[in-house]
Amino acid sequence: QPTGFEGYHLIAPTLLQAGDSIAYKQVRRDMLRRFGGTKDPLIADRLVKDCLIRPWLPAQLDSLARLADMAIQEGPEHKAWRRFQFAKGLVEYRRGHFADAVNYVRQVAEGGEWNRDVNRDVQAYMVLAMAYAGLNQMAYARSALTTGLAVAQDGLPKSDGDLSNWPGWNDWVIA
């Protein structure tokens, strides 16, 4: 279904998990070309995250930043607000705006029990650790990394290899 976003959303982390970074790079180029003009904030935030699992070139980062900005404009009342914050923080991290990344992603990682998602929390702590490292705040970076690893150990399900009936498996792979 080349016109449907969901297939792309699922294949991007799968390709990386399988070790096919060349196919991943092609898929994310296709995703941005096909869906970069979306007005749907849910697609925008997924597109940002899927495309930025690995670093990307500055020209693409500008397009992805616009998508993250569009999603974040939905405001904190939106059910996917924490997802939008994470996408915005991830873009800022990839752009080298480490302080901005910390501001967005810390809110996700340390956001309390409301709307918890272990996969997203692990992702947020890892990006937070990298952003702190980019700011040369190594004690904070180590703390975020340690917390993220503990959340992963305690909260992420263990895989027996069959992810076919596992909701959110793609986010688990990313985490």
Mean pLDDT for 21-38 is: 94
More confident residue, 56 or 136: 136
* Range of weakest confidence among 25-29, 38-42, 159-163, 168-172: 159-163
**Cα–Cα distance between 8 and 40 in angstroms, integer?**
16
Alpha helix (H) residue ranges in the chain: 5-17, 21-35, 41-51, 58-72, 81-94, 98-109, 118-134, 138-155, 169-174
Name the packing angle between helices 58-72 and 21-35 (round to 10°): 50
- Average of per-residue pLDDT across 51-58: 91
More confident of the two residues 10 and 157: 10
Query: Roughly how many angstroms between the first and final C-alpha of the chain, as a whole number?
Result: 26
Q: In terms of Cα–Cα distance, which of 62, 49, 63 is closest to 12?
A: 49
pLDDT tops 80 at residue 76:
yes
Mean pLDDT of 67-96: 95
